[in-house]
Structure 1
């Protein structure tokens, strides 16, 4: 199915981002490329919205001066100040709404765009990438890191402008009303910020330690819940509770330490802040009383208010630095995906409309990255259309690597694999994989209905076709017995089904695609004998007329293969039918004897 316009756009954006992913700020510029107008307008509206913070001290000071004038200033000015105060405050409601709408549109669009780019890139990156990364880490990049980048944007366009505006307004007004008082500001504001920062550092450290204890407790609870069946089976409930209780005691002590530190340093921070404000008030009052500086009574309140605004602005800027640093780290974190060039590139390659299923392995070698030893060495094999080939051998011999090469998840380090005469590296693997079905030991089902799982990746499949696939997979009977039949929800990973039922649905999913190439990777292992019999019967129907590659440890499941390929240490050591290999008394016969 062709890629949608949205997917193509996401891919182009991803490609653009990849070229700049080493520069976090440049990546942010690209992400917001379509919304700079909205962000600029939002910033302008923010200045208007935020104006009460630095206008109200002016109005308050003027009203106090009116009162102190003892009638020398008329009441008209008081009413004007009151009306101005009303307007300044009321405008905050519409401007706040417009500002948030503009900012949120830009941020939410970036959020969706970035997640789409990451998801698109994850669809393109080679399978080898996933063997080196846990799904939890990748999920955190798409969810948590993007959320932190979103918070970074809000800080840059909200907290940062507020702090800068407050800082500039306070300095400009004080410079205009009493320039000499700036000397006091310059001397005390940095000192106040240092003291406040010093008192807050232990609080942040304690919060970090407590968060670590929360994460450890969450991990312990998660592990305990996952182990409940094993715990019950071994009557180890008391031991599990002892482990949990130890963790709860550590959590409790960390919480007590956090509360103590928060109370002590929180009080110290509050007292320090108000001491500096009190100091400013006393100095301003002294300067006004002695007329050391030409200050009116209202100016005393004005200077104290702006000193508080200045101190808060400096502290805000100091606190923003680690948050911005954290946001840029998240930008670099997602760049690990966006900047990854180990992708499966299918663009411009030959598309296959039909596949016969003839394979030729010509001197194929394969080595995984960062390994000295080859996983496959000089593999040469020809497979005819409709032939069933079984790969057997010890664990780690290279069987699964061969299957991944057939699917196209891996590319040979040397040599070629030809499909119907075409080198796999020269064809669009997406068009090839539409003719493949894979049934593995770990059946991958998702939290949807039976119908959704069987028809995954297909559109407009008739009811009769679905039922025939279920019948051929020996699955129709148990599906019809379900409460809602084909529309029954089977739970995450098919947890509401037995192992045999899940495997039969996987076979039905393979059958409905009518593949030309079939991959069976330990498809009947870990099943009871009854389920294995039903599945083996279904697999025989599935394999008819199709080129089939089988990997199995239990040799009894591959006796009827057209040819059995024995692999040891990445090399083919024997090829032949079951009976022929038994009569050779070689590696296959030894494996057979060990299992017997």
Structure 2
């Protein structure tokens, strides 16, 4: 992510990228209004209250003029409405304005929150149904930003920015009309000054925002140093680099101070300029207005109302610069959200439908002359003319050097990707003839790096079958050799595993994943190096659990440790994307100069050296 978009642990909201104001981008912005349609009556009512709120606001200076002129007329012995009566009218207008403003804010918040909730659900549903290639080409932080930062920007636009733009326009138009009605000559003098102030203010504002961003970015770098140092404190201390980290942090803070002081200097100049401009303009307007009052072409109340209307008009003009910037950010956010909503998803079901009888598998799997390259690296051929046959209930082991294509076989089995050439068959039927959700419901994956969700052990096991009873969950845990260690925790099955399962050891996480797969009761099982990262003690326990899991199911075991697949019905040896050998453990050991025999010899030598 670009530097300006970083978020430093909550100290700064990301600075959203802006989009240019073009016809195409404006069309994209209408995405928002599609989500406002179910609430259009409430939205239109909110627009009405904006108009009423602006009208009552602009009426206040008019009645202020009446109040002052009334007091002046009575002092001269002329007939006029009593000032007390006018003051009561003004209180009534203020009360109405309070009601209108409340309704405006409430209605736009109601519409915005509901519309953006619907948009969030659609974006999340679309995102989670994307093919694996979509996630392979994007970072998790980038996708999270779509749900959080981009949609929050759109939400701010609906609940606040849109209303402020409309209020500003109404205030500007009504104010301009009224100041010309009050005094065309004075309005001409005022308008010759205000645009200059606004333009200079915009230039200053851009410079200050840039300096502020730079300061926040530098502060983010400082916080990153602290975060990295604390996360790697063992490395810092083992290399006795405390002095180095202190120096690095100090230099970063010095840069923060330098930028902040520079920013303060510009803000001070800006504030001084604004104060000079505002009071200078007031002096100019009042001075010229007094000459008109003396000439009898403008009343004193009219002059007061003119000054107030001028403040309203100037405030609206100054506010449009920031609103325009926010509008550009909203266009950019809408573009990025729209990209996701336009992308093509996998044809998966969005409900928990049971497996239909016609789609139930027996477990036969065939790769027929399969070739494959990842979409992001089409020039690199991972699999080349691969053919593998597995009968129902067979255990097929896939072995080979790193980069041979073993994990790609697992990805194709689970239909994360599809072959470029050749066919993948389940029970003799092409994979694409079986609905994707129906196919995956009959398959389970136990990966090398198990990801557990941050809930309880109970919830993580039940992820394999959401309607499972407690008895079924515990039975699955027993088969996975997990029940004993689970009940050893004070909270038992209600133990919270922590983010990504950090509160459990590697072997414990593997057994939870195996219990989850057992509970799912798959027809086809994929084990992707499920024991390669475990120590010998954990491996033996997990391997026993895996043996329980593989009983009576078609199993594809991607193995790093060859000792774990000696009893496989068939061992497929891959090298550089080709199937170079195939057979049982004993058959492959009997091949002179065979790759499997060579790999097995290397592992035995490595193990004996460890001993």
Q: TM-score, normalised by structure 2?
A: 0.89
Native 8 Å contact 2:129 2:348 kept in 1 = no
SS in 2 for 1:389: strand
Partner of 1:304: 307
In angstroms, what is the RMSD of aligned CA positions? 2.2
Native 8 Å contact 2:452 2:460 kept in 1 = yes
Partner of 2:476: 469
SS in 2 for 1:91: helix
Asked if residue 586 in structure 1 is aligned to residue 594 in structure 2, the reply is yes
Partner of 1:171: 176
* 1:467 Cα deviation from its structure 2 partner: 1.9
Distance 2:195 2:116 in 1: 37
Aligned runs of 1:338-487 on 2, under 5 Å?
Answer: 338-341=341-344, 343-346=345-348, 353-370=359-376, 371-487=378-494
SS in 2 for 1:390: strand
* 1:150 Cα deviation from its structure 2 partner: 1.1
* 1:259 Cα deviation from its structure 2 partner: 2.5
SS in 1 for 2:184: coil
Native 8 Å contact 1:280 1:307 kept in 2 = no
Aligned runs of 1:142-221 on 2, under 5 Å?
Answer: 142-221=147-226
Asked if residue 258 in structure 1 is aligned to residue 260 in structure 2, the reply is no
Partner of 1:327: 330
Distance 1:66 1:23 in 2: 52
* 1:233 Cα deviation from its structure 2 partner: 4.9
Pick from 279, 286, 292: which aligns with 1:287?
292
Q: Which shifted more, 346-355 or 157-166?
A: 346-355
Native 8 Å contact 1:22 1:335 kept in 2 = no
Partner of 1:16: none
Distance 1:225 1:375 in 2: 40
* 1:261 Cα deviation from its structure 2 partner: 2.3
Native 8 Å contact 2:571 2:583 kept in 1 = yes
Distance 1:485 1:428 in 2: 38
Partner of 1:571: 578
After superposition, the Cα gap between the structure-2 partners of 1:182 and 1:29, relative to the gap in structure 1 and judged at 3 Å, is same
Native 8 Å contact 2:464 2:519 kept in 1 = no
Distance 1:548 1:233 in 2: 45
SS in 1 for 2:375: coil
Distance 1:151 1:28 in 2: 12
* 1:115 Cα deviation from its structure 2 partner: 0.8
Partner of 2:39: 35
Asked if residue 129 in structure 1 is aligned to residue 134 in structure 2, the reply is yes
* 1:353 Cα deviation from its structure 2 partner: 4.5
Q: Tell me the matched-pair count.
A: 574
* 1:22 Cα deviation from its structure 2 partner: 9.2
Distance 1:564 1:313 in 2: 75
* 1:84 Cα deviation from its structure 2 partner: 1.2
SS in 2 for 1:363: strand
**CA offsets, 1:23-58, max 9 Å, x none?**
322212212121222111101112222334322221
**CA offsets, 1:228-251, max 9 Å, x none?**
344345454443333333322222
Native 8 Å contact 1:202 1:265 kept in 2 = no
Distance 2:597 2:464 in 1: 42
**CA offsets, 1:313-361, max 9 Å, x none?**
11112221111001110001112211212x2124799955522110111
Distance 1:229 1:111 in 2: 44
Runs of 5+ consecutive residues of structure 1 not aligned to the other structure: 1-19
SS in 2 for 1:471: helix
* 1:75 Cα deviation from its structure 2 partner: 5.9
Partner of 1:526: 533
Native 8 Å contact 2:57 2:97 kept in 1 = no
**CA offsets, 1:360-405, max 9 Å, x none?**
1111111122431221111111111111111111222211111100
Native 8 Å contact 1:21 1:27 kept in 2 = no
Native 8 Å contact 1:391 1:549 kept in 2 = yes
**CA offsets, 1:90-139, max 9 Å, x none?**
12332223222211111001211111011101121101111111111100
Partner of 1:248: 253
SS in 2 for 1:50: helix
* 1:538 Cα deviation from its structure 2 partner: 0.8
* 1:497 Cα deviation from its structure 2 partner: 1.0
**CA offsets, 1:208-237, max 9 Å, x none?**
212222332333333233323443454544
Native 8 Å contact 2:172 2:312 kept in 1 = yes
Distance 1:472 1:379 in 2: 34
Runs of 5+ consecutive residues of structure 2 not aligned to the other structure: 1-23, 606-611
Distance 2:303 2:26 in 1: 51
Native 8 Å contact 1:199 1:268 kept in 2 = no
Partner of 2:319: 316
Distance 2:285 2:164 in 1: 25
